[in-house]
Amino acid sequence: MSPYFTKAFWTLALCFVSLSGWTQGTPDSLREPTQKYGLRAGIELSKLLRTSLDDDYTGLELVGDYRLSEKLFLAAELGSENKTTFERIVDLPLYRYNSSGAYLKAGVDINNYKNWFGEQNLIFFGLRYALSTFKMEVYERYLYDSYRYYEPDSFVLFSEDKIEYNSLSASWIEIVSGFKAEVLPNIYMGMSARIHFLLSYNQPDNFDSLWIPGFNKKTDNSRFGLGYNYSISYFLPLYKKPKKNLEEQTSF
């Protein structure tokens, strides 16, 4: 074969390979960067663990978020809790009660983490408005006696008659900070810390709303509380949108 035909053969072969590669798809380096949008839903883990270890507690919480923009997410938690408490003063029983009910928290999360191409991780802060409906049952009540004249080792039992307080409610806001990281394709582990501020609650007659599902223990001296959240969730991609450049990421 003459050098002319040899050169022409390899030229045509290279052109064919290049054309074949182009028809198979655009290389990643030439593709427009995109971000996935969809629904992430899962379950809170610490309440499941506490339910299995603590005979006086039962709890379940479902978590979810939906992406609205590059950085903004709608977020919510829906759960129920049931807890029996033996309130004590200096290790002496004062009263025993049970609090049980359901709660809903809804708000937004703002992602502050700049993901690399293909990443969907979050380092976020957010805000929730929470509402809880619950009931309380008081089982045993003791008379507080600082001198313990009649019962040196305990307070005097006042009554064992059960008292029920139904249709109680409370509302509060939460400031949230946390992260969600993809550990397997579309599987996320998350953790968040929360500061609660109680807005309103029902005050039962001759008693108090001492433990509010979703809020935890309430004290007379403060409307603030603390909470945490550990979750595992699955991300369901629904569609994709072009990823904004660095200048555009400053807006929601």
* Amino acid 163: pLDDT: 83
* Amino acid 105: pLDDT: 98
Lookup result for tokens 């609090």: 99
Q: Are residues 9 and 125 in the same domain?
A: no
If one counts the domains in the chain, the total is 2
* Amino acid 142: pLDDT: 59
Residue 81: what are its φ and ψ, rounded to 5°?
-140, 150
Q: Are residues 5 and 120 in the same domain?
A: no
Q: Are residues 42 and 167 in the same domain?
A: yes
Q: Are residues 27 and 43 in the same domain?
A: no
User: How far is 101 from 79, CA to CA, in rounded Å?
Assistant: 9
* Amino acid 217: pLDDT: 87
User: How far is 229 from 74, CA to CA, in rounded Å?
Assistant: 17
Q: Are residues 151 and 112 in the same domain?
A: yes
Q: Are residues 196 and 230 in the same domain?
A: yes
Q: Are residues 148 and 70 in the same domain?
A: yes
- Residues listed for the chain: 252
Q: Are residues 170 and 93 in the same domain?
A: yes
Q: Are residues 236 and 132 in the same domain?
A: yes
Mapping DSSP to helix (H, G, I), strand (E, B) and coil, where does residue 148 land?
A: coil
* Amino acid 35: pLDDT: 81
**C-beta of residue 108 within 8 angstroms of C-beta of residue 102:** no
Enclosing domain of residue 78: 35-250
* Amino acid 114: pLDDT: 86
Q: Are residues 211 and 228 in the same domain?
A: yes
Q: Are residues 113 and 16 in the same domain?
A: no
CATH number at residue 201: 2.40.160.20
User: How far is 129 from 108, CA to CA, in rounded Å?
Assistant: 10
* Amino acid 17: pLDDT: 37
* Amino acid 133: pLDDT: 97
Ranges of the chain whose pLDDT falls below 50: 2, 4-10, 12-29, 246-247
Q: Are residues 46 and 141 in the same domain?
A: yes
**C-beta of residue 67 within 8 angstroms of C-beta of residue 52:** no
